[in-house]
Amino acid sequence: MAKEIWKPGNMLYPLPVVMISVADQQGKPNIITVAWAGTICSDPAMVSISVRPERYSHHILKETGEFVINLTTRELAYATDYCGVKSGRDVDKFKEMHLTPLPASIVKAPLIGESPMNLECRVTDVKELGSHDMFIAEVVAVHADEKYMDENHKFHLEKADPITYSHGTYYTLGENLGTFGFSVRKK
């Protein structure tokens, strides 16, 4: 099997694409789209997002130390892209994309009402890494849309049609190939 050798680069795809909502010290909200987001610890629940220092929301993240991760769906794909290419310096993204800012339970940053799941986060550390700063945060509250819950109170994100990001392109998730541990289950 022949393979080409490329220069080092971030080729870890696909990625979750999320909308990060923030609010500045005066309470003005903004949304930034981030594909560099991930889980880093389960106990305590912790995540990271990486943001370029020149992005409008970067200084808000540094000043407030709070944000909300809003999961994205096929229905939110247009707004997700828009919030990644338009700056909060120039436009009110909630208003332009007809998104609903909802109050969070702990942080001052708003939830995006149309998102199926929202994770309220408090920054615990910032790592200046080069092109991006990594904001390491503890998840302090989670909001799940009841319309994706079954009768046993299990959340079904797949019914929201989540999207991912791969090398400049948004994708929906494909078919279910199995659940964790399916390779070793007795038949």
Which pLDDT does position 175 carry in this prediction? 85
Residue 65 CA to residue 92 CA, distance in Å, equals 21
Is the pLDDT score of 74 beyond 90?
Answer: yes
- Strand (E) or helix (H) holding 5: none
Which pLDDT does position 123 carry in this prediction? 98
Instruction: Assign 14 to helix, strand or coil.
Output: coil
Residue 82 CA to residue 43 CA, distance in Å, equals 34
* Strand ranges inside 1-51, DSSP E: 15-16, 18-23, 29-34, 37-42, 45-51
Which pLDDT does position 156 carry in this prediction? 94
Which CATH architecture group holds 15-172?
Answer: Roll (2.30)
pLDDT per residue over 154-184, tens digit each? 999 999 999 999 999 999 998 888 888 989 9
Sorted by sequence, the CB contacts under 8 Å of residue 9 that are 6+ apart come out as none
3-state DSSP percent of the chain in helix, strand and coil, to 5: 15, 40, 45
The pTM of this model reads 0.94
